[in-house]
Chains A and B, each alone.
Chain A
């Protein structure tokens, strides 16, 4: 199993798919990286030569923000919203959707599993 940027060990899938196991690399980024390195995306990840793995790693290092660094970036952005006391920061603090979505129903991704309350009035703490 080839290792690219630290702990990421994509499986024996095609490289175009395997690279998506890296946090911060999705369909678009994966093909962009391979295009920049001149590698065929239909190649299996296990068939990559040492040299090609190194090329991919170098390309990601240079032009992409991935994994821990990206996670940190996202966290600081959210922290900033909280610190300046903006509405979006407030929504993050409460664990509710921050972009104006409805919360009467749905919003389960942010709110977590349903907390059913007996009686017709629903009760939910913040």
Chain B
């Protein structure tokens, strides 16, 4: 279900300020704003997106515009189910 057009995309204002303030050095921007939509201005910037535990490096490319930052920083670790043998030994 998409978001209401009336409201427009959700863009974290603080993050935009950080992007604008960024110098030519292009050091990664650390952020918790996973819900923030990626705007064209974000292209070419590396973000450190919080996944609830660590900050994951996300390099924004043109194709990512319109998606949200959180889509590129998975929050779950799935290491597979226990194998049949392991389950039996318990």
- B71: CB under 8 A from chain A? yes
Q: How large is the interface on B (under 10, 10 to 19, 20 to 34, 35 or more residues)?
A: 10 to 19
Contacting residues, chain A, for B72 (C-beta < 8 A): 84-87
- B8: CB under 8 A from chain A? no
- A62: CB under 8 A from chain B? no
- B15: CB under 8 A from chain A? no
Contacting residues, chain B, for A28 (C-beta < 8 A): none
Evaluate contact between A121 and B82: CB separation under 8 angstroms.
yes
Evaluate contact between B80 and A90: CB separation under 8 angstroms.
no
- A7: CB under 8 A from chain B? no
Evaluate contact between A121 and B87: CB separation under 8 angstroms.
yes
Evaluate contact between B74 and A84: CB separation under 8 angstroms.
no
Determine how close the nearest CB of chain B comes to the CB of A95; give it in whole angstroms: 14
Evaluate contact between B64 and A119: CB separation under 8 angstroms.
no
Whether A119 contacts B71 in the complex (CB less than 8 A), given A83-B63, A84-B61, comes out as no
- A114: CB under 8 A from chain B? no
- B6: CB under 8 A from chain A? no
Instruction: Give residues of chain B (21-49) contacting chain A, Cβ–Cβ below 8 Å.
Output: none
Evaluate contact between B63 and A119: CB separation under 8 angstroms.
no
Determine how close the nearest CB of chain A comes to the CB of B84; give it in whole angstroms: 6
Chain A interface residues toward B at CB < 8 A: 80, 83-88, 90, 117-126
**Given A119-B88, A122-B81, A123-B87, 19 new contacts (CB under 8 A):** A80-B63, A83-B63, A84-B63, A84-B67, A85-B72, A86-B71, A87-B70, A87-B71, A87-B72, A87-B74, A117-B84, A118-B84, A119-B84, A121-B82, A121-B84, A123-B81, A123-B83, A123-B84, A126-B80
